[in-house]
Structure 1
Amino acid sequence: MASANLRQVVLTCSGHTRPVVDLCFARSQSGKCLLISACKDGKPMLRDGVTGDWIGTFEGHKGAVWSVHMDPSATLAATGSADFSAKIWDLSTGNEKLSLPHKHIVRAVELSPDGSQLTTGSADKIIRRFDLSAGDDKEAFTFDGHHGAVKYVRLLGDGKRLLSVGDDRSIRVWDFISGECIHTQQLPGIPQSLEISANGEQFVITMDRKVTFWSTVNYQMMREFELPCKMYAASLHSAGEFFVCGGDDFKMYKMNYETGEEIESFKGHFGPVHCCAFSSDGELYASGSEDGTVRLWQTIVGKTYGLWKYVDANGSDAAKAES
């Protein structure tokens, strides 16, 4: 059992030289938890998602990397960059498979569950869908309607709808087959993050000091919570009982989903938190920061898991963890 007397021991993953702006977890077919990070240094990195150990760096972009995504089986990775390109990588070898040119900075990437298609969002306000079997420059479809840079794109669970948010302060839902926009919702602030919940029933958006939860059925807001500072990222645990978020004050907050009350908070970063995500098993979460590090946090402090070892029966801090 976890003890309230134990302190959080964070695993710090160094290697990046500029702000870390996006993260993605996936579990390989062999069962290994993997974590990929996007950074303004232009060199996305792959790590062991439990220990934080470095596995490899993807070399090839000539500008900041703004977005990363892996397919559910951790076979392929996609990256979007300020060098006006999106790239597809073979995770088993680290080799570049495809480079897809764009007309402006690529802010968002999303692989389809089977890895056959890539959807991108760009600073030119256009969403693009690529058939990856068609080669380097075969553009399959475009979704045109945003009036500002497209910051995030996410496929909804049925695979027939696409969700996007942009600097035009809007949420848009698209019919993934026809490309038609079927819903538009204006927001009071610029969205800073977008996540689809593990059960696919809601999506999470941060804007200003708020973390908001929305239905993927009727696209209406379900919950809205205000935090002490501007929030750049939030992630809902798969159990749906709590979420984590981070922003300008360098802290990671763990919050009750029903009430919005703070459960606990931890400070480890030395700069604003730009991104966060739970691992697929929900045992830990990762955060990326302006300070150039990725940090791994234990969901239940005091539980023996990975490098977190708790052996003191008296409940004192007996964690031994390094990264």
Structure 2
Amino acid sequence: MLRNGETGDWIGTFEGHKGAVWSVCLDTNALRAASGSADFTAKVWNALTGDILHSFEHKHIVRACAFSEVKLWDVRSGKIVQTLETKSPVTSAEVSQDGRYITTADGATVKFWDADHFGLVKSYNMPCTVESASLEPKYGNKFIAGGEDMWVRVFDFHTGDETACNKGHHGPVHCVRFSPGGESYASGSEDGTIRIWQTGPLTD
């Protein structure tokens, strides 16, 4: 289901999955949407029409990847181009806005991978099991993470130091994402709410 980010009004519903949908996201221009489902598929949609552009089959439930590896797909050919190995199930995967990094959350770890050569750039241990992480898109100098302890934390990208902690949810946080401009970020929780948080002054 697609809703207006400012008003919450319903815009449209994408129909095509045959199982529960675990993860969804929009591209930078909000022209395409991607979804991962319990029907063992990931789908790419036209966000304007709701049409399915691509459907990628897998052997497991797709929760942005609910298994111990991340698979990168060519959206034109539908073929796997790279697999990134992790020690714990990956619950979140995001490509940075500038295309330089792939951010993943697995277990109590947030990792940043080189999107061109696929090497591990940074790996930070988190205070709890993390369900989702997102890199600030404008300067790339901070990232957010949310998980089982119900808090949404902000960290320094270069050092991994925690710089802020937001309380408000009453259930585990399953998804966090920055806005395209980085001025705010959203968190979705098992408590049935989505919260919007202000990032604060952006500096490079």
Which amino acid in structure 1 is aligned with residue 170 of structure 2? Answer: F
1:66 lines up with 2:29 in the alignment: no
Residues 222-271 of structure 1 deviation map (CA, whole Å, 9 limit, x = unaligned): 00001110000011001111001110100010000000000011111001
Counterpart for residue 277 of structure 1: 177
Distance in 2, matches of 1:220 and 1:77, equals 27
Residue 196 of structure 2 is aligned with which of 289, 296, 305? 296
Question: How many residues are paired up?
Answer: 198
Counterpart for residue 149 of structure 1: 61
Residue 200 of structure 1 is aligned with which of 93, 99, 108? 99
1:56 lines up with 2:56 in the alignment: no
Distance in 2, matches of 1:182 and 1:79, equals 19
Distance 1:121 1:250, change over 3 A: farther
1:266 lines up with 2:178 in the alignment: no
Q: Gaps (5+ residues) in structure 1?
A: 1-43, 83-103, 126-146, 153-164, 304-323
Q: How does 1:217-228 map to 2 (within 5 A)?
A: 217-228=116-127
Aligned partner of residue 150 in structure 1, secondary structure: coil
1:119 lines up with 2:54 in the alignment: yes
Aligned-residue RMSD, C-alpha? 3.1
Deviation at 1:281, TM superposition (A): 1.3
1:187 lines up with 2:86 in the alignment: yes
TM-score by length of structure 1 reads 0.54
CA contact (8 A) 1:45 1:54 kept: no
Q: Which moved more, 1:183-192 or 1:290-299?
A: 183-192
CA contact (8 A) 1:78 1:109 kept: yes
CA contact (8 A) 1:70 1:111 kept: no
Q: Which moved more, 1:184-193 or 1:268-277?
A: 184-193
CA contact (8 A) 2:31 2:48 kept: no
Residue 109 of structure 1 is aligned with which of 43, 47, 64? 43
Distance 1:112 1:188, change over 3 A: farther
TM-score by length of structure 2 reads 0.81
Q: How does 1:284-323 map to 2 (within 5 A)?
A: 284-300=184-200
Distance 1:241 1:71, change over 3 A: closer
Deviation at 1:274, TM superposition (A): 0.3
Residues 184-220 of structure 1 deviation map (CA, whole Å, 9 limit, x = unaligned): 3321111010000111011000001000000011101
Residue 214 of structure 1 is aligned with which of 110, 113, 122? 113
Q: Which has the higher contact order (CA 8 A, sep 6+)?
A: 1
Larger Rg: 1
Q: How does 1:66-105 map to 2 (within 5 A)?
A: 66-70=22-26, 72-74=28-30, 104=39
Q: Which moved more, 1:205-214 or 1:113-122?
A: 113-122
Q: Using the aligned pairs only, state the percent identity.
A: 34
CA contact (8 A) 1:71 1:114 kept: no
Counterpart for residue 235 of structure 1: 134
